Amino acid sequence: MLLGAIADDFTGATDLCSMLVRGGMRTVQLIGVPEPELPTPDADAVVVALKSRTAPTAQAVEESLAALRWLQAAGARQFFFKYCSTFDSTDQGNIGPVADALIAALGCGFALACPAFPTNARTVYQGHLFVGGSLLNESGMEHHPLTPMTDANLVRVLSRQTEGTVGLVAFAAVDRGANAIRDAMTQLKERGRRYAIVDAITDAHLAAIGEAAANHALITGGSGVAMALPENFRRAGLLSRTTDPGVLPPIEGACAVIAGSCSRTTLAQLGYARSHLPTFELDALATPDAAALSEAALAWAADKIGHKPVVIAASAPPDKVAALQSRLGRDQAGALIENAVAKIAEGLLVRGVRKFVVAGGETSGAVVRRLGVRSMRIGTEIDPGVPWTFAEAGKTATGGSGPGLMLALKSGNFGASDFFLKAFRVLEA
């Protein structure tokens, strides 16, 4: 194993896996902290997917350190902490506290932080994160149900979350290439900075940043900055040029979409899907009960499964999310929905669904756990950052042994407007 990564949510983990597969690394995603006795997968990169983005900070730190220890024992040469390209976090963390703990455990003293992903319109300039043409705090992310992002200045955002200090490698250095970036990072480290937010506007910038960090024990960021890592390993003679890392076994079975993301992108994708596919929307305000919501959805789906893909959505616009949150509290509202969609996923599995598209990071975490998935092999990309994956048989929460599954875990903000149709079209091709 060359690269050992820890991702703070499930869609983020598959996004990173997809990037590494594109670079020619055979990649496996493990769900949750691996059991100590789990055999090391036959892969160049292993990405441990945690659900730590919004977990209590102490738990996020503890799980991340446990994942690090497993990856170290499995022989990884370099480590990556993957978080969202929109830097999803609160003033309490968990990006800063987890990165602090990983830096301390590795004894490296310093790490770069770069969430940029230009392919998906996330860029960082003068330390400010943009989503398309908008600053992060004007991009819709200020309404995120769990991690509202109200400040686009990442030096400030990360400073509030860490005991260390944060510097900036600004565009002028980044644009001069890998050597200039390496020099700027060395200077920041020598001046006692624990982190460098690194500007990046293009893939060429990401490639240069990755090259500059070839010898870093730890890299933190979005999947974009991992773009150059396969080439680093190849240059060092550690990775062959010939692997075809993305071929998955074919699977029979019905198709479903489960959506819990409330991002603008997902709401638009649902709008498009509604006119092409049978769609059911959970009304959590009218029925704030997970069991009743899932029963209603499954009863609706019963005679539709197996014909066209069925779409079941909890997703709602900001005013409806706010209404549910003011009634139940933010965490309770999220937990209610996540519990409901997890039950729905399990019910769909029992009824023959084997190909799932899940929209939303937290939502994917809830679904994947309930389906008992422990490990996923990464295949073809549907849209940037969202691959189909093959999940080995897992044990479902109800105790039965689960069948093999195809899963596409979509970060809320990712994918084109026809994503939910395209995902299944890609499988037929």
Binding site for ligand ADP (CB under 6 A): 11, 145-146, 260-263, 284, 314-316, 320-321, 324-325, 333-334, 337-338, 360-363, 411-412
| Distance, CA of 21 to CA of 26 (rounded, Å) | 6
The answer to whether 160 and 91 have CB atoms below 8 angstroms apart is yes
CB of 66 to ligand ADP, least distance (A): 22
Could you give the angle at which helices 10-22 and 361-370 cross, rounded to 10 degrees? Answer: 100
CB of 336 to ligand ADP, least distance (A): 7
| Distance, CA of 167 to CA of 165 (rounded, Å) | 7
Residue 190: exposure state from Cβ atoms within 10 A (0-12, 13-18, ≥19): exposed
CB of 46 to ligand ADP, least distance (A): 23
CB of 149 to ligand ADP, least distance (A): 11
CB of 198 to ligand ADP, least distance (A): 23
Nearer to ligand ADP, 174 or 262 (CB): 262
Greatest Cα pair distance, the chain, in angstroms, is 65
Nearer to ligand ADP, 187 or 325 (CB): 325
Nearer to ligand ADP, 360 or 384 (CB): 360
Nearer to ligand ADP, 51 or 194 (CB): 51
Q: Which residue is nearest to ligand ADP (CB)?
A: 412
CB of 269 to ligand ADP, least distance (A): 11
CB of 50 to ligand ADP, least distance (A): 13
| Distance, CA of 76 to CA of 3 (rounded, Å) | 5
Identify residue 340 by its one-letter amino acid code: A
CB of 339 to ligand ADP, least distance (A): 9
| Distance, CA of 46 to CA of 36 (rounded, Å) | 15
Nearer to ligand ADP, 56 or 306 (CB): 56
Nearer to ligand ADP, 80 or 414 (CB): 414
| Distance, CA of 200 to CA of 122 (rounded, Å) | 9
Nearer to ligand ADP, 52 or 411 (CB): 411
Beta strands in 105-253 (DSSP E): 111-114, 122-125, 128-131, 134-135, 166-169, 195-198, 218-221
Nearer to ligand ADP, 127 or 334 (CB): 334
Of 384, 360, 315, nearest to 121 by C-alpha is 384
Token pair 């992002």 is found at 149
Distances (CA, A) of 29 to 206, 232, 258, 384, 416: 23, 21, 21, 17, 24
**Residue 264 neighbours by CB under 8 Å, 6+ apart:** 140, 413
